[in-house]
Amino acid sequence: MSAVVLRAARAGEEAELTELALRSKGHWGYSAEFLDGCRPELTVRPDQLVDILVAESDGMLAGFRLLLVDGAHGELEALFVDPPFIGTGVGRLLMDEVLATARARGVQTLILDADPGAEAFYARFGARTTGLIPSGSIPGRSLPRMEFDLRA
């Protein structure tokens, strides 16, 4: 694998980013029906591009993150790695960037709603699970609400 570079998302990449998010979500073994239920929530909109950073390798999208910051509070809205790049360090690169950017922008508390399969990934970076939140896609399903304390 060639070097992975981080860059701002570009206009017109919404569909490609959406499909990457769905492939990444599918890594956890979800059915096609389940993923169809998630599609509306995982669809990348043009207005979100300003907050998306893309990981790219040899011109291919390897992953992306969507980080929202509002003063001392931030939310990691999305972090997805395309399955061929899982285990190659792309997720770590994106997560390190998220934490560095959040700290640089003065975020003290960073929250995220994790897929249950990804909970351990975020915990390795210092996130702690603070409770459960209803899924925005699948009725009756709950997701771990996680939090990073960036005050230190």
- Enumerate domains of the chain plus CATH numbers: 4-149 (3.40.630.30)
Tell whether the model's pLDDT for residue 113 goes beyond 70.
yes
Residue 16: phi and psi, rounded to 5, are -65, -40
pLDDT, average across residues 115-143: 95
The span from the CA of 75 to the CA of 131, in Å, is: 15
Structural tokens at position 89:
């360090």
In this prediction, residue 12 carries a pLDDT of: 97
The answer to whether the beta carbons of residues 66 and 17 sit under 8 Å apart is no
Q: What is the pLDDT of residues 7-16, one digit of tens each?
A: 999 999 999 9
Residue 71: phi and psi, rounded to 5, are 65, -125
Tell whether the model's pLDDT for residue 146 goes beyond 70.
yes
pLDDT, average across residues 105-130: 97
Q: What is the pLDDT of residues 11-60, one digit of tens each?
A: 999 999 999 999 999 999 999 999 999 999 999 999 999 999 999 999 99
In this prediction, residue 152 carries a pLDDT of: 74
In this prediction, residue 37 carries a pLDDT of: 93
Torsional sign, CA 65, 69, 72, 78: negative
In this prediction, residue 64 carries a pLDDT of: 98
Q: How confident is the model at residue 1 (pLDDT cuts 50, 70, 90)?
A: low
Q: What is the pLDDT of residues 69-100, one digit of tens each?
A: 999 999 999 999 999 999 999 999 999 999 99
Q: How confident is the model at residue 2 (pLDDT cuts 50, 70, 90)?
A: confident
